[in-house]
Amino acid sequence: MFQLIAPFFQDLYERTGLNFIVFYAPYEYDRFLSGIAISLQLIFWSIVASLLIGVFGAWAQSARSPVLRGLVGAYIQAFRNTPPMIQLLFFYFALGAFTPQVDMGGYYQPLISSFAWAIISLGIFGGAFNVEIFRSGLEAVPDSTREAAESLCMSKWQIYTYVTLPLAFRISLPALTNNLISLAKTTSLAYVISVPEVTYSLNQVWSDNINVPEMMLLLFLFYILVVSLLAAGLHFLERRLALPGYGQ
Amino acid sequence: MSLQTKSKSPAGADWTADQPIVSLCDVHKSYGSVEVLKGISLDVRKGEVICIIGPSGSGKSTLIRCINGLNDIQKGSIKVEGQEVNDPKLDLLTLRKKVGIVFQQYNLFPHKTALDNVMMAPVLVLKEPKKEVEERARALIAKVRLQGKENAYPGELSGGQQQRVAIARSLAMRPDVMLFDEVTAALDPETVKEVLLTIRELASEGMTCILVTHEMGFAREVADHVYFTDQGVIVEHGPPRQFFTKASDPRTRQFLSQIL
Ligand SMILES: Nc1ncnc2c1ncn2[C@@H]1O[C@H](COP(=O)(O)OP(=O)(O)O)[C@@H](O)[C@H]1O
Ligand SMILES: [Mg+2]
């Protein structure tokens, strides 16, 4: 791949001055690819974490305990109403200061890396919205459907996992799609705690090579591509899960 | 002492098959301060079909739901196979395994096919092997005359077809008693017949059935006993022939004249 495109971009630079160095200099190429890989992992794991938090949060909100409900409500308020960048900084610098260091044989490293902090922080940020999204989905599942499951002797947990959640998930999916796309875009903020994702790595490239416009363009294209793929995937899921004979 | 067949169920061990399978005694039920059931007593014997009729709001659905433990009661007793439904020690699951219920609005699981709707509870609750359950589910779907619709989703079925899937779904749990709450009330006249046919077959096979219905012709033909309720009390009851021709209470007569 690299061998194939390198001559073209080298030539392009020599003739026009457009410096897409990540496509012809092996060192910068590796930096770029590793940035992409880390961004994709960050997007994937943040989404997974936010979904888990969303499911359990929504479940906790339907719990009897007012304390539990109050805690989840406070969590949602706190994380929906503060900027995600501040949240990242808070987690990394404020909480990070209290996490133990591990001996790596001579030097010390924090137990939780900046990458892990980014996933935790972004998962919690996206999760705050997912709790609300799932909760309204759960509320839209008719009581009578749950009651039918109850009358068939299914346990509370079985009713939740086999009836309520699958239906709530389908109802939630359009709103969820929006939030997950927004979360995918927000992962670029991990830049502020030095996670070497694509924004961070391209920033290093353009600092070294003074080719800001070209690298910015790449960054844009990367996010356009990733977000359209994610959206296409989620819309495909929406169509796949659509209930035959319902709604349309 | 006559020879008695003992119930196999662990709870209600004193119950024998010659006693009422469902027994209500002075049942009172309130929603908040509103008393909806004001002392209902009735007995249903094994294999009997009883119909409960009465104006809308008279507490018929509430009564049915209490027998299944979906609603609790404030006073009185409901026993199923000798077991007190409102006993706080009673595991509701044991009760519900004996009592199947079919609702007016079918309440199928819209994200599951007809076959999966029927299979779900036996697989999850009774933990029976999937293969066995599938065989039984297919047989039940055939029994309610829906062969070929196994893989249809509820949204792709008519109301009457959905209702028959709901009946099959209940039967898959092998209940001893079936409760039907106005199961034909939401259906088109043409599809009412096929659902009633299914229930009639069940009754003729000896299933104990408690039906809330407005289908008087059906009640007259299938029921062993008819109960008329109004404002939370049983106004009048009797075998259908007597009930429909010689009703003595003016409220019953008025209701029958409106509906027949
Ligand atoms: N969940 C409930 N909360 C409060 N009132 C209820 C509830 N369900 C039913 N009711 C009231 O109880 C009465 C009897 O209702 P129901 O049992 O549904 O009657 P029926 O099935 O005979 O039409 C009605 O007046 C109804 O408004
Ligand atoms: Mg009713």
Structure confidence by residue, pLDDT tens digits, A71-107:
999 999 999 999 999 999 999 998 888 888 887 887 8
pLDDT digits (tens, 9 = 90+) for B186-214: 898 888 999 999 999 999 999 999 999 98
CA distance A50 to A52: 6
3-class state of residue A74 by DSSP = helix
Note whether residue A165 is domain-resident.
Answer: yes
The domain that contains A188 carries what CATH number? 1.10.3720.10
Note whether residue A125 is domain-resident.
Answer: yes
**Crossing angle of helices A165-186/A114-140, nearest 10°?**
140
pTM reported for the whole predicted model? 0.81
Establish if A224 touches chain B: CB-CB under 8 angstroms: no
ipTM for this prediction: 0.87
Note whether residue B66 is domain-resident.
Answer: no
Note whether residue A1 is domain-resident.
Answer: no
CA of B55, closest atom in ligand 1: 22
Residues of A in contact with B166 (CB under 8 A): 148
**Residue A66: domain span:** 43-98+109-240
Q: Which of residues 25-84 of B touch A (CB under 8 A)?
A: 68, 70
Nearest CA, atom 14, ligand 1:
B59
Using pLDDT thresholds of 50, 70 and 90, give the confidence band for residue B155.
Answer: very high
Residues of B in contact with A243 (CB under 8 A): 110-111, 153, 155
Task: Name the domain count of chain B.
Answer: 1
Q: How many Cβ atoms are within 10 Å of A217's Cβ, its own excluded?
A: 13
Note whether residue B57 is domain-resident.
Answer: no
Residues of A in contact with B101 (CB under 8 A): 151
**Residue B133: domain span:** 108-174
Whether B7 has a pLDDT exceeding 80, the answer reads: no
Task: Name the domain count of chain A.
Answer: 1
pLDDT digits (tens, 9 = 90+) for B77-101: 999 998 888 887 777 777 788 999 9
Q: Which ligand neighbours the alpha carbon of B54 most closely?
A: 1
Nearest CA, atom 16, ligand 1:
B59
pLDDT digits (tens, 9 = 90+) for A154-195: 998 999 899 998 999 999 999 999 999 999 999 999 999 999
Q: Which of B91, B104, B124 to mutate to test the interface with A (most CBs of A within 10 A)?
A: B124
Residue A194 is given by DSSP the state T
